[in-house]
Chain A
Amino acid sequence: MSGFFKSSIGRKVAMALSAFFLMFFLLQHFAINILSVFSADTFNEVSHFMGTNPLIQYVLQPVLIFGVVFHFVMGFVLELKNKKARNVAYVKNNGAANSSWMSRNMIWSGAAILAFIILHFIDFWFPEINTKFIQGDWSGMHEGVEGYRYFHELQEKFVSPIRVGAYVLAFIFLALHLLHGFTSAFQSMGYTAMHKKTLQNIGKAYAIIIPLGFIFIAIYHHFNHIH
C-alpha cells in the first residue's frame, strides 16, 4: 500500500481524499457561520460546543490541520514535479482551446486560498488557541461582553472594509478552485466524474453557493455590526 501512495496515481488519490475532507469541513463551517446571521445566541452556543468538545478539539482539529497542510504541501510538490515534466516550454500554447481557466490554474487559486488561510488563522485560530491552550481559559467568556464572546469577536473582525474585501477576494478564488476541484476529486478516485452531468451540476452549485454564502456573511456583519 505504501508503494501505491508513492505512485503518481496514489498521490492523486491522496489529494482527492484530503480534498473531500476539506470540502466536508467547509460545508460544516458554513452551516455554523450562517447561524450568526439569524441568531447570535445560537451561533454562540454552537461555537462554544465546537470550541470545547474534546472530540472536536483533540481529534478532529489535528486531523483538519493535517488535511490542510497535506493538501497544500502535496499540491505544491506535484506542481513542481509537473513543471519538471516539460523542460522546454512551448513558444505558443493555446490552453483555452481545450481546457478551462480554473483547471489550468489550480496552483494559483490554491496559493490565494493559502494566503487567505494565513490571514484567517491570525484573525481567529491563533487567538483561539492562545486563549484556550496557553491561557487555559475554556469558559468562552470575555471581559465586558455579556454571554459568550464568539459572536462579538466575529462582528469585530468584519468592521474593517479592507478585511471584508480580502475575504470576498479569497472566496472568489475558492469558488474558482472548487469549480474544477470538486469533480476532479471524484475523477481521481476512479469515478468518471468529468462525464457525469448531475455530479458536475452538484459541483458547480457547491462551488458557487458555499463561497457566495461566506461572502454574504462577511458583508452582512460589516453592515450590521454593533457600534
Chain B
Amino acid sequence: MNLTLKIWRQKSASDKGKMVDYKVTDISEHMSFLEMMDVLNEQLVNSGEDPVAFDHDCREGICGMCSMYINGEAHGPDRGITTCQLHMRMFKDGDTITIEPFRATAFPVIKDLVVDRTAFDRIQHAGGYISVNTSGNTQDANSIPISKHAADEAMDAATCIGCGACVATCKNSSAMLFVGAKVSQYALLPQGQIEAADRVQNMVAQMDLEGFGNCTNTGACEIECPKGISLENIARMNRELMKAAIK
C-alpha cells in the first residue's frame, strides 16, 4: 500500500517543531507500524535526510518505549497494544496517517517523536517499592499467605509497563492510571502494608510536582492502555490516600 505520513519533526527540545509530509510506497500490510517507520527512515537516509527519531526497544509489547500518537490515539487505532504491535493491516491504501509524540508538559519532546518520560521514574523512586532486608535473612516467599484473588489483582496492576499512553490519551495529561497501578500492586499485598501510607502520599506528591493534570474520570486511559490497567486502580489509590490522610 502507498501512504502519506504527516510526522512531527523537531530537531531538539528547544526547537519549535512542525508537521512534515512524507510518502511511503509498497508497504506490506503484514508489517508492524515500526517496520513501516524503518522503511521511511531507510528512504530518508538514502536521500541524505535526517531520519525520524522514535523510541523503540523490545518490539514485542513489553518495554513500552514506542510512544507514538497515531491518528489521534496513543499507539494508534487498535486496543490492548503498543505501537510495535500495531500492524499496517489496520490502514488502507492511500491513507494519510498523522504521527505525533506523546503530548504532556511533564513529557517534554527530546527529538521528533522521542519524549522524556523520566517523570515516571521519579514517581516510582518516591515510593513504588517495598523495603526488604536482603542481607542473607530474606524470608521464604511462601511463609506469607496471600489469597488468589489479591495475588491476581496485584499482578494485573503490576503489568503496567509505564509506557505513558494513559498520560498521552488523557485530556488532562493525568498520570493517575500509572500511579494508581503502582500504588495498587503493593497496596493489595501484605508486604506493601507497612509503607502503604507513606508510599501513596509520596507518589501522589511527586506526581503533582511533575505537573501532570487531574483525573476527571473520562476512562480514556483504561481504553488506550496496552495492558488493560483498570480504572479500579485509580479508585483504590484515592481510597489509599484518604486512608493515609485520616491516619
- Give the interface of A toward B (CB within 8 A): 1, 3-4, 7-13, 78, 81-82, 84-95, 97-100, 103-104, 106, 180, 183-184, 187-195
CB distance from A182 to the nearest CB of B (A): 11
Let me know if A13 and B106 touch, CB within 8 A. Answer: no
Q: Is B103 an interface residue (CB 8 A)?
A: yes
Known: A8-B212, A85-B174. 9 other contacts (CB 8 A): A8-B204, A13-B242, A81-B214, A94-B71, A99-B219, A187-B217, A189-B238, A192-B232, A194-B219
Q: Is B60 an interface residue (CB 8 A)?
A: no
Q: Determine the chain B residues whose CB is within 8 A of the CB of A194 once the complex forms.
A: 217, 219, 222, 231, 235
| Residue of A whose beta carbon sits closest to that of B107 | A86
Mostly helix, strand, loop or mixed at chain B's interface?
Answer: mixed
Interchain CA distance A82-B219 in the complex, whole Å: 16
Let me know if A7 and B174 touch, CB within 8 A. Answer: no
Let me know if A191 and B217 touch, CB within 8 A. Answer: no
* A82, A86, A193 — most chain B CB neighbours (10 Å): A86
Per-position 1/0 for B161-201, Cβ under 8 A of A: 00000000101111010000000000000000000000000
Let me know if A90 and B72 touch, CB within 8 A. Answer: yes
Q: Is B19 an interface residue (CB 8 A)?
A: yes
Let me know if B235 and A191 touch, CB within 8 A. Answer: yes
Q: Is B114 an interface residue (CB 8 A)?
A: no
Give the contacting residue for A85; candidates B71, B212, B234; CB below 8 A.
B212
| Residue of B whose beta carbon sits closest to that of A190 | B239
Let me know if A92 and B98 touch, CB within 8 A. Answer: yes
| Residue of B whose beta carbon sits closest to that of A11 | B214
Let me know if A9 and B212 touch, CB within 8 A. Answer: no
